[in-house]
């Protein structure tokens, strides 16, 4: 994925700036021993500048990552597609290995990025994400097709996964959050 360089507008908190509010804010995703500038990474380190918002957002995000009714594979297909459409290299680079651990091959991930997924279900999920992105809704036809594979809760989780990561991609891009390892 080609990454658009954006200016850094909000820097991650320095280690000495991490206080109890910051550590509590990331508790939904990080164990106490990793709630620090070194281990949290640039995204969480930046978000904790607003601890109340971070705590609320991460509780929602943690549900989608750990308790969603979607399989990890479907979640990562939807997530990768929306962060690609929003040109968010940071989230793409962080979720690429997560998608691989969820069973997606590099070729399948390339197909998600290009919109040319070869598996029928993968292609349907990509189409649903594209419709949400382009039209702010899923068409009746796509919704019905999704219903042949997913129950109502899964379809709801799909929509909220796309929305959650769309929102996060907008924040990452706007704040100029930099990848910790830009060369891989």
pLDDT digits 0-9 by tens, 43-87: 999 999 999 999 999 999 999 999 999 999 999 999 999 999 999
Say yes or no: 33 and 45 in one domain.
yes
Q: Name the DSSP class of 117.
A: -
Q: Each residue of 114-158: pLDDT tens digit?
A: 999 999 999 999 999 999 999 999 999 999 999 999 999 999 999
Say yes or no: 27 and 77 in one domain.
no
Q: Each residue of 102-117: pLDDT tens digit?
A: 999 999 999 999 999 9
From 5, 36, 65, the end of a domain falls on 65
Q: Number of folded domains in the chain?
A: 2
pLDDT of residue 2: 60
pLDDT of residue 184: 53
Q: Which structural domain range is residue 24 located in? A: 17-65
For residues 130 and 137, give the distance between their C-alpha atoms in angstroms, rounded to a whole number.
9
Say yes or no: 135 and 91 in one domain.
yes
For residues 98 and 91, give the distance between their C-alpha atoms in angstroms, rounded to a whole number.
11
pLDDT of residue 28: 87
Say yes or no: 79 and 24 in one domain.
no
Residue 168 lies in a domain: yes
* More confident of the two residues 2 and 37: 37
Overall average pLDDT of the 12-30 stretch: 93
Residue 27 lies in a domain: yes
Beta strands in the chain (DSSP E): none
Residue 109 burial (10 A CB sphere; 0-12, 13-18, 19+): buried
Say yes or no: 43 and 74 in one domain.
no
């Amino acid at each position: 994925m080609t990454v658009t360089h954006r200016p850094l507008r909000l820097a991650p908190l320095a280690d000495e700036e991490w206080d109890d509010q910051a550590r509590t804010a990331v508790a939904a995703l990080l164990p106490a021993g990793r709630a620090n500038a070194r281990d949290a990474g640039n995204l969480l380190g930046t978000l904790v500048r607003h601890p109340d918002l971070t705590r609320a957002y991460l509780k929602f995000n943690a549900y989608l990552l750990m308790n969603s009714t979607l399989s990890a594979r479907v979640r990562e297909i939807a997530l990768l597609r929306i962060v690609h459409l929003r040109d968010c290299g940071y989230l793409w680079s962080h979720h690429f290995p997560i998608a691989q651990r969820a069973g997606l091959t590099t070729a399948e991930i390339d197909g998600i990025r290009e919109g040319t997924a070869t598996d029928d279900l993968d292609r349907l999920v990509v189409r649903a994400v594209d419709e949400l992105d382009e039209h702010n809704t899923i068409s009746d036809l796509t919704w019905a097709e999704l219903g042949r594979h997913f129950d109502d809760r899964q379809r709801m989780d799909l929509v909220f996964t796309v929305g959650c990561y769309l929102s996060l991609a907008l924040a990452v891009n706007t704040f100029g959050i930099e990848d910790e390892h830009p060369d891989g």
